[in-house]
Structure 1
Amino acid sequence: MDSAMESEERLKVDLLNRAEAETSNAKSHEEVKTESDLKDKKQKTEKKKKKEEEDDKTRTVPFYKLFAFADSFDILLMILGTIGAVCNGLGLPIMTILFGDVIDVFGQNQNSSGVSDKIATHGNGLGFPMTILFGDTIDVFGQNQNTSGVSDKIAKVALKFIYLGLGTLVAALLQVSGWMISGERQAARIRSLYLKTILRQDIAFFDVETNTGEVVGRMSGDTVLIQDAMGEKVGKAIQLITTFIAGFVIAFMEGWLLTLVMIASIPLLVMSGAAVAIVISKMASRGQTSYAKAAVVVEQTVGSIRTVASFTGEKQAISNYNKHLVSAYRAGVFEGASTGFGLGTLNITIFCTFALAVWYGGEMVLEKGYTGGQVLIIIFSVIPGSMLLGQVSPCLSAFAAGQAAAYKMFETIKRKPEIDASDTTGKVLDDIRGDVELKDVNFSYPARPEEQIFRGFSLSISSGSTVALVGQSGSGKSTVVSLIERFYDPQSGEVRIDGINLKEFQLKWIRS
């Protein structure tokens, strides 16, 4: 009997141990599953955030929406700036016309049989300075050297140059001041609206959508990019495009055949000028970034010098600093080499184009009756106009950067918070007792929606009583205070003061 009872007790113990083992295994499996689920959710959340950040970088606003916050005075300034930019852009093409008049006044052998040979001789002398070759060309073209009327004609042309200079002075003043002042005014207005919008947002916005560094970065960095995109560079782009279009219109009016021949050189001129401008801006930006990173290393090292010294991290700090300096040095070397090669390519393209234009212009003088002034008007309308068109590319890059920077800021400015601190509507009680009640509250933080803080939580605090909320870290003590101050709204349930739902009160009055 005793042995039977002992065996039965052993069997029960074994069964209990197995049951406990199975339970613990099940719990461990559940814990592992829960941990893996949490990890998966965190990974998905991180991937979602990264994707949203990448999307934000690629999203832009239409160019015209950069000026959405302009007032009537800004619009007037932009109109005056545009008129000034157009007039300033016309200055160079008009100068070429006056220059052609000067060439027709100077010179010596219009329509002589030796023009073509002389032009070919001087056009191939690329080893001489350009000014000497240019003087030789003027001597070949023209019509009335040493005549008594030269002085009077030159005086009239000189007076036109003075008028042109005064006109471009006024135009440049309107262009630069109009666009810079309007850009500064609009950028200041955007900064003010952005800060005002940030301060009226609910706390959930700062938990999920932004942080302190991002706000400061957008206030200091993105607004500069936006201002750059809608300021002086707009006027410059209008000026350069006007010069290009006006130059070609004048060239076709003076001699369409020579202009068509010169069009073949436009792609090379535009690409050379654009490549030089883009490389310089990119390499300068890369160098500035490296220096900024080096400055961060210095700031962090000096700011935490006790920690650095306690772990003997001085050599590591110097090594990190030198790495960024080396990167900046390499960017500078590459910038110098690229710029030199680009400028050399641009110069050889310009001089070869001059050689082609001057040689073919001599043929046009003999065969089509062109004057020397017409030939050089066409040359100096097409070549500088094409080069200036290539300089538009930095302006276009600034426009693109401004459009991308404006997207997130404008989205934030348009955002309407669910809990609006600036809302003046709602109840205001003349007399308040101070009874606080949380009834069947379900709540989880927006940044951690998978972690339930309250599930059907209820709490009643009568007026005049002293209540202590006690519990372990993360049990929801500060959450109760946040809900009473209406930093957050519960997903379900109500927070009441004197029996009235907190959402019905004016928020400023509750917090004051």
Structure 2
Amino acid sequence: MCIVFGDLIDGMGAGASLPTDLSPEMAEQMNAGMAAMMNKMEELCVTMCLVGLGSFIGASLQGSCFKIFAERQALKYRSLYFDAVLHQDVGWFDQKEIAALPSEINDDLEKIQDAFGDKFGNGIMSLSAFLGGFGCAFGMGWLIALVYAKAAAVVEESGVGAGMGYTMMIVFLGYALAFWFGMTLRYNDQINPATGAEWNPGTIMSIFFCIFIGSFMIGNLDPSLKANLLT
């Protein structure tokens, strides 16, 4: 989606307004360019709709599959749990409150099911989004991606123990520096070392959103890791 968004920006830029006092030949060329731009916009809009539909289907399958997986794991551990309890020595039962044992077993199994359910699926999704976002960003232009990644790292470090106002200031200053650097490369017609072509605004914006979403999604790993490590 981030790459499509960048293509959308480049497509709109290709149809920038031109002077109206043009000769018929130039006006015809301008109209042809606008028509080509609209065709490109339609293709990108269809692509966005397909990406949204794919995301909906993927999220639905993820929720269903991991729910089934968690239920099967809970059933498996339930059998193992009861088998382990039945093979305990008599002294072990003397140290336990028998009436509370079923409740204790159910609580442990609920934690296991919770760890292998939505949280586990969300953890895999977040890790995939992080790796995919940073991979796409560095593939499209590692030079600017390094600047954005450094800005994101500074933001995360400043957020620890800092007030919201200070954190937001660091966010805007860091990304402002990255945008300035990227557009400076574009203005000076610098070559993108990752692609061998000149920088364009769409690529710069795509890299920004890939890093931004990747950095955001890595923060969602914390609940999943805690749920699985504490199980």
Both structures adopt the same fold (TM-score exceeding 0.5) = yes
The structure 2 residue matched to 1:173, chosen from 60, 69, 75, is 60
Pick closer, same or farther for the CA change 1:348–1:399 going to 2, 3 Å.
farther
Contact 2:148–2:175, Cα closer than 8 Å, also in 1: no
Give the number of the structure whose residues are more often helix, by fraction.
Answer: 2
Cα deviation for residue 246 of structure 1 reads 1.2
Q: TM-score, normalised by structure 1?
A: 0.37
Report 1:417-456 matches (<5 A): none
Higher relative contact order (CA 8 A, sep 6+): 2
Q: TM-score, normalised by structure 2?
A: 0.77
CA distance in 2, matches of 1:165, 1:379: 20
Task: Give the number of the structure whose alpha-carbon radius of gyration is greater.
Answer: 1
Report 1:7-406 matches (<5 A): 95-107=1-13, 147-199=34-86, 201-208=88-95, 210-212=96-98, 215-270=101-156, 347-367=168-188, 368=190, 369-402=198-231
CA distance in 2, matches of 1:187, 1:346: 42
Give the number of the structure whose residues are more often strand, by fraction.
Answer: 1
Contact 1:365–1:371, Cα closer than 8 Å, also in 2: yes
Contact 1:350–1:383, Cα closer than 8 Å, also in 2: no
Cα deviation for residue 390 of structure 1 reads 1.7
- Partner of 1:107, secondary structure, is helix
Contact 1:187–1:226, Cα closer than 8 Å, also in 2: yes
User: Which amino acid counterpart does residue 226 of structure 1 have in structure 2?
Assistant: I
| Unmatched segments (≥5 aa) in structure 2 | 17-32, 191-197
- Partner of 1:155, secondary structure, is helix
* Matched pairs, number: 208
User: Which amino acid counterpart does residue 153 of structure 2 have in structure 1?
Assistant: P
CA distance in 2, matches of 1:351, 1:202: 64
CA distance in 1, matches of 2:46, 2:15: 26
User: Which amino acid counterpart does residue 212 of structure 2 have in structure 1?
Assistant: I
CA distance in 1, matches of 2:120, 2:156: 19
**1:55-83 CA deviation, whole Å, 9 max, x = no partner?**
xxxxxxxxxxxxxxxxxxxxxxxxxxxxx
**1:475-512 CA deviation, whole Å, 9 max, x = no partner?**
xxxxxxxxxxxxxxxxxxxxxxxxxxxxxxxxxxxxxx
RMSD: 2.8
User: Which amino acid counterpart does residue 90 of structure 2 have in structure 1?
Assistant: I
Percent identity between matched residues is 33
- Partner of 1:175, secondary structure, is helix
Provide the residue aligned with 2:24 in structure 1: none
CA distance in 2, matches of 1:398, 1:345: 31
